[in-house]
Chains A and B, each alone.
Chain A
Amino acid sequence: MKIAVCIKQVPTREWQPRLNDQKTWVREQDASYEMNEPDAYALEESLRLREQHGGEVVVCSAGPARVQQVIREALARGADRALHVEDDALGAADAFTAAAALEPAMREEQFDLILTGLQSDDQGHAQFGPVLAEKLGVPHSTIIMEVQIDEAAGSLKVKRELEGGWFQYVTMPSPALLTIQSGINQLRYATLKGIMAAKKKEIRKVAPPAGLASRLTVTALYVPQKAKQTVMIGGSPAEAAAELVRRLREEARVL
C-alpha cells in the first residue's frame, strides 16, 4: 500500500491572531505553528494501515519553507518520506489552491490511498480533500471514523460520521481519498529514536505548477461582534465566584 497523508501547518490554537496593516490577513511572522489537528489523526491512521498492510507512508504538504517543521514531525512519528510543494506564496493559500499545487506531483506518485484531515484549524474551508480527489479522478468520502482495507478485492470500507451521532458505512474501490475526523484513533507521539531517524528521511521539494491563482480574496479581516450582551464578572476568583452564584440564584434563577 502506498499511502499519502496530506498535512497542513497551521498557527497554534493558543495564538492570538493579530492583523496586518491592511487588515486583510494576520501577521504570519508573529505566529507559532503546529500540525493541523485532524491531520495528526490522519497520519496516525496511515501508520496503522501500514502496520497492517505494509507499504509506505508519504507526507504531502504545500507551503513555504516553514512547513518543514510539521513534515519533520510527521517523519519522526513514523512516515517514510515526504513531498513538499514549496513556495512562499502558498503560506496563505486557500484549500482549492493548495489542492491544485499538490495535484501534479501527487498524481505522479500513483498512491493507493490518500488521507487528509477533514478541515483546517486556520482557514477551515473543508474543501481540500474532495477537490483533490476530483482533480485526481479518484472516489472520496469525508468525515471518516474507521477504515477497513480489502486488498484482495481492491476496495475499502469506511465509516462516515453523520450529524447528531449517526454513522454510515460506505464501500468504494481504491485508489481513493478519505478525509479523517479527529478521534478516529488514539495518537502516539514521536520518540527520540523517531526524531533521530527522521533526519535521514527524504523530503522531495517540488515547485508548484505555473499559473496558480486563488479565486477567494479576503477584502477585510476583523474581530466578530458579540451577538449577546454578556455580563463579564471581574474581581478575584473568590469575588467572581460569589457574584456569579448570586446572579445565578437571584437574576437567572437557575440554582
Chain B
Amino acid sequence: MILVIAEQRNDKLNRASWEAVVAAQQLAGEGIPVKVAVLGQGVSTAASELAQAEVAEVITVEHEALASYTSDAFVQAAAGLVTATAPAHVVFAHTYQTRDFAPALAARLDRALVTDVIGLKVAEGRPLFARPMFQGKLLADVALGGPAPHLVTVQIGAFRADTVQKGPAPAPVTSATATIDPGTVRQTPEAPFQEAKQAVDLSQAERIVAVGRGIKTQENIAVAQQLADAFGAELAASRPICDNGWLPMERQIGSSGQTVAPKLYVAVGISGAIQHLVGMKGSRTIVAINKDADAPIFEVADYGIAGDLFDVAPALIAELKK
C-alpha cells in the first residue's frame, strides 16, 4: 500500500495534494492500493474531495492538537498512522509544511526520505526517484535503502494534478484516532498573516523584466530598470536581489514572493531555480538572457539569448528605441 499525506488548511485542500496523489498512483502501478490521509481538525470537505480520486480509502486523522499546524503534533499523528497502516511508501507534496515535519518524521521512524522528486521510473524491480541537484543543473536518480516505508516528497508542479485517476464512485472515508499527548507539543503557533499591503501588484503587469544575481551590483540595477522602461515593463527580481536590499521585497517573484503570468516575462541573469520558476512559468512568452547556455531558465524559455547581459541589455534598449 502507498500512503499519501494530503495537506489542508481550514478544511481547504492544498492543490499540491493532488500532485502527490498522482505520484502515488504512478508509483503504485497496477494492483497496489493507494490510500490518502488528511490530518487536522474538521477536515471532512477536504476528505470528500480527495475521495473522488481512484484510491482505496481516505483516512481522516482528527485531533484538537492538529487544529493549527505544529511539527510536533503532526509528527506524532503521522508516525502513529504510518506505524498502524504499514505502507511501502509515504508520499507528500514538497510544501513548506512538509519541509517542516517530514524530515523529523523520517528521523523518528528511522526511515529513508527523498525530497523534491520530479519523476519516477522503475529499474530492476525497484523504484528510482529523479530529483534535482546542484541548483537544477543536474538530475539524480535516487534509490532508497533500509526498511520500508520510504518517504517521498514531490516537487510542486512536477506531477500534473489534472492527470489524477478518478474513481467510478467515491472512495470510502474512514477515520483513524490520533494519539497525541498535547503536553509534548512544544511549538505554539500564532495565526498566519501577510505583511503590509503590497504597493505594487505585479500580477496585473502585462510585461515584466526580472533581474537576478547576474546583475552583480546594486548600481547595475539601473541597467535592468532601463531595459524594463524600454520594454514598457515593470521591474521585478529573483530572491537574492531582494535579500540584498537592492529592490524591495514586493518585487520578488517566486514561491515566497509574487506569482505572475504576464504576456511577456524577460528573465535577465536569473538561473531558473524551481522556487523562482513556480512564480513565473505561467507567463505567455518567456525570454531568458543568461551567459550560461545550460542555465535551467532556458528549459522554460520560449526565446533565449546565451550571452552577457551587459552586452545584450544595451543592444536591446537601443533596438526597442528604434
Contacts and interface: CB of A to CB of B under 8 A. Distances in A.
A167 B195 contact: yes
Nearest to A231: B303
Interface residues of A, number: 81
B96 A233 contact: no
Interface majority SS on B: helix, strand, loop or mixed? mixed
Contact of A139 (B72, B146, B292): B72
Contact of A217 (B108, B143, B298): B143
Interface in A241-255: 241-242, 244-245, 247-248, 252, 254-255
Contact of B189 (A170, A218, A223): A170
Contacts, number: 254
Contacts of A165: 194-195, 198, 256-258
A11 interface: yes
B107 A130 contact: yes
Contact of A17 (B137, B186, B242, B285): B137
Interface string B93-117: 0111001111110111000111110
A188 interface: no
A121 interface: yes
Contacts of B285: 248, 252, 254
B261 to A, nearest CB: 13
Given A11-B134, A167-B195, A168-B190, A240 B312 contact: yes
Contacts of A201: none
B304 A233 contact: yes
A230 B257 contact: no
A132 B312 CA distance: 46
B101 A16 contact: no
Tier of interface size on chain B: 35 or more
A221 B312 contact: no
Q: Which of A19, A130, A143, A214 has the most CB of B within 10 A?
A: A130
Interface string B231-267: 1000000011011110000000001111100011000
Contacts of A168: 189-193
B299 interface: yes
Given A165-B258, A230-B301, A252-B264, A223 B96 contact: no
A228 B300 contact: yes
A127 B137 contact: no
Interface of A: 11, 13, 16-17, 19, 26, 37, 95-96, 99, 118, 121-131, 133-135, 139-143, 160-173, 176, 181-183, 186, 214-224, 226-228, 230-234, 236-238, 240-242, 244-245, 247-248, 252, 254-255
- Sorted from nearest, which 5 A-B pairs have the closest CB atoms? A183-B243, A215-B112, A134-B107, A241-B315, A139-B186
19 contacts: A19-B138, A125-B103, A130-B101, A134-B108, A140-B71, A140-B104, A141-B187, A160-B100, A162-B192, A164-B258, A165-B198, A167-B192, A167-B195, A219-B128, A220-B140, A224-B138, A232-B304, A238-B319, A255-B320
Given A165-B257, A170-B189, A219-B141, 14 more contacts: A16-B294, A118-B99, A126-B115, A126-B116, A130-B100, A134-B103, A139-B71, A160-B100, A164-B258, A219-B143, A221-B140, A224-B136, A238-B318, A245-B319
